[in-house]
Copies of this chain bind each other. A is one copy, B any other.
Amino acid sequence: MTEPSDRKFKQIGSRPIRHDGLDKVTGRARFGADFALPGMLYGVFARSPHAHARILSIDTSKAERLEGVRAAVTAADLPDLPDEWMGVTEGGTCPSEDSQNVLAREKVLYHGHAVAAIAATTFEIAREACGLIDVEYEVLEPVLDLGRALAPDAPILHENQAPFGDEPLPQGPTNIARQVAFEGGDLEAGFARADVVVEGTFETPMVHQGYIEPHACVVDVREDGTSEIWCATQGPFGVKRATAMIVGCDANGIKVTPSEIGGGFGGKLSVYLEPVAHVLSRKSGRPVKMQMTREEVFRATGPTSGARIDMRVGAKRDGTLVAAETRMAYEAGAFRGSAVGAAAMTVLTPYRIPNFKILGLDVVLNKPKAAAYRAPGAPIAAFATESLMDELARRLDRDPIDLRLQNAIEEGDHAKYGPAFKRIGLRETLEAARAHPHYRAPLAANQGRGVACGFWMNGGYQSSATVSVDEDGSAVVRTGSPDIGGSRVALALMVAEELGISVARVRPFVGDTDSVGYCDPTGGSRVTYATGMAVIEASRQVIEHLRARAATIWGVGLDAVEWQDGCAVATKGAAEKGSLPLGEIAEQMRMTGGPIVVSASLSPPAAGPAFGTHLCDVEVDPETGCTKVLRYTVVQDAGKAVHPTYVEGQFQGGAAQGIGWALNEEYLWDEKGRVENAGFLDYRMPVASDLPMIDTVIVEVPNPLHPYGVRGVGETPIVPPLGTVANAMRAATGVRFYSLPMSPPRVLEALESRQG
User: Does A338 interact with chain B (Cβ within 8 Å)?
Assistant: no
Q: Tell me if A514 counts as interface (CB < 8 A to partner B).
A: yes
Contact call A22/B224, Cβ cutoff below 8 A: yes
Task: Tell me the chain A residues, 175-225 only, with Cβ under 8 Å from chain B.
Answer: 222-224
Known: A593-B601, A594-B603, A601-B597. A471 touches B222 (CB 8 A): no
Within 457-515 of A, Cβ neighbours of B (below 8 Å) are at 462-464, 466, 468, 470-472, 474, 476, 478, 505, 507, 509, 511, 514-515
Which chain B residues lie closer than 8 Å to A603 at the CB level?
589-595
Complex Cα gap A28–B462 (Å):
34
Given contacts A462-B590, A599-B598, contact A472 B515 (CB under 8 A): no
> Does A140 belong to the interface (CB within 8 Å)?
no
CA distance A736 to B476 in the complex (A): 58
- Nearest neighbor of A224 in chain B, beta-carbon distance: B22
Closest to A511 in B: B515
Interface residues contributed by chain A, number (CB under 8 Å): 50
**A57 proximity list for chain B (CB < 8 A):** none
Chain B residues positioned under 8 Å from A472 (CB to CB): 250-252
With a cutoff of 8 Å between Cβ atoms, the chain B residues found around residue A356 in the complex are none
Report B-chain residues with C-beta under 8 Å of the C-beta of A630: none
Known A-B contacts A251-B472, A599-B599; A514 and B594 likewise in contact (beta carbons under 8 Å): no
Bound CA–CA A89/B514 (angstroms): 29
The answer to whether residues A517 and B22 also contact, given A507-B252, A590-B603, A603-B593 and a CB cut-off of 8 A, is no
Which of B250, B462, B518, B594 is close to A464, meaning CB atoms less than 8 Å apart? B594
- Give Cα A255–Cα B590 distance, bound, in whole angstroms: 21
A318 contacts the other chain (CB 8 A): no
A599 and B505 form a contact (CB under 8 A) = no
A577 to chain B, nearest CB (A): 23
Residues of B contacting A598 in the complex (Cβ-Cβ under 8 angstroms): 599
How many Å lie between the Cα of A546 and that of B204 in the bound state?
Answer: 48
Q: Which of B252, B507, B591, B592 contacts A505 (CB 8 A)?
A: B252
Cβ–Cβ contact B474 & A252, under 8 A:
yes
Do A595 and B518 touch (CB < 8 A)? Answer: yes
Q: Interface readout for A391-411 with B: 1 if CB under 8 Å, 0 if not?
A: 000000000000000000000
Contact A515 B515, CB 8 Å, known A590-B462, A595-B603: yes
Q: Are A466 and B466 in contact (CB under 8 A)?
A: yes
Residues A425-466 near B (CB distance < 8 A): 462-464, 466
Complex formed: what's the CA distance from A478 to B480 in Å?
Answer: 14
Say yes or no: is A516 at the interface (Cβ < 8 Å to chain B).
Answer: yes
A171 CB-CB contact with B under 8 Å: no
Is the C-beta of A602 less than 8 angstroms from some C-beta in chain B?
yes
CA distance A601 to B468 in the complex (A): 10
11 A-B contacts (beta carbon < 8 Å): A22-B222, A22-B224, A89-B590, A252-B505, A463-B595, A476-B514, A511-B511, A515-B515, A594-B602, A595-B601, A595-B603
Q: A252-B474, A518-B597 are in contact. List 18 more A-B contacts (CB 8 A).
A: A23-B222, A28-B222, A462-B595, A464-B595, A464-B597, A468-B599, A470-B518, A478-B515, A507-B514, A518-B594, A591-B603, A593-B603, A594-B603, A594-B604, A595-B601, A595-B603, A597-B599, A597-B601
Which 3 pairs of residues, A with B, have the shortest CB-CB distance? A594-B603, A517-B597, A518-B595
